[in-house]
Amino acid sequence: MRPSFAPLEPDAVAMLTALTEIDFTRTDFTNPRWFCVTARRWDGELQGVLAVEFKTWFDAYFTCAIADPRCLSRKLLAVIFRSLFSKAVRITAEVDPAAERVISQTRRMGFVYEGFKRLGVEGTRDCLMFGMLREDCRFLPGYDPARASIPPLSLGGQHGLHS
C-alpha cells in the first residue's frame, strides 16, 4: 500500500463522494484547512480516502471512505492521528445511523459516541456524532484506556438505535 499525504486527486474525490454520499466535487482540497490521505495499492488502485477539515482552530471533522479495510494499518493510523492532534484538540466524525459497519469501525478507532444530530449532513440526513480527544486515541504513544475521556455511551435512546 502506498499512502499519499497530498490534496485529493479527482478519482479520490469521486470515491469519497460516492461512498459517503456527500458532494465533495466542488471542494478545494488544496486549501490549508484540509488534511488529506489517499491509500493506493502498488498498481494505483484506490484502497481508501481520508479528508479531514479543520472547521475551527480546535476541531477537525473526519471523513473517510474505505474500499479495503487493510489500508487502515496501525502504523498509518498512528501517523494520521499524530498529525491531526498536533493541531486539533478534538476530532469529530459524523456517521450515518444505518451504517453499522462504519459505526463499529469508528468506535474501534477510539471515537466516543456523543449524540444524534438531526439533518446534520448537508442539511438533508441525520447523523450520529462521535468525538475523539488525544487521550481517547489508542494509536498514540502513552494511550491508557483507564484515562480515556469518557466511557462509550450506548446508542439507545430517543432515536431507537442499538449498539
Angstrom distance (rounded) from CA 5 to CA 75: 14
Is 39 within a domain? yes
Is 155 within a domain? no
For 77-103, the pLDDT digits (tens) are 999 999 999 999 999 999 999 999 999
Domain housing 42: 2-147
Is 157 within a domain? no
In angstroms, the Cα distances linking 56 to 43, 88, 101 are 37, 9, 28
Backbone angles phi, psi at 30, to 5 degrees: -85, -15
Angstrom distance (rounded) from CA 138 to CA 86: 15
Is 140 within a domain? yes
pLDDT at 2 over 70: yes
CATH of the domain at 61: 3.40.630.30
Nearest partner of 29 among 54, 52, 12, 7, judged by Cα: 7
For 13-70, the pLDDT digits (tens) are 999 999 999 999 999 999 999 999 999 999 999 999 999 999 999 999 999 999 998 8
For 128-145, the pLDDT digits (tens) are 999 999 999 999 988 888
Nearest partner of 46 among 23, 14, 73, judged by Cα: 14
> How many domains would you assign to the chain?
1
Is 156 within a domain? no
Is 159 within a domain? no
Q: What is the pTM of this model?
A: 0.85
Alpha helices (H) along the chain: 10-20, 74-85, 100-109
Is 161 within a domain? no
Is 99 within a domain? yes
Angstrom distance (rounded) from CA 138 to CA 127: 24
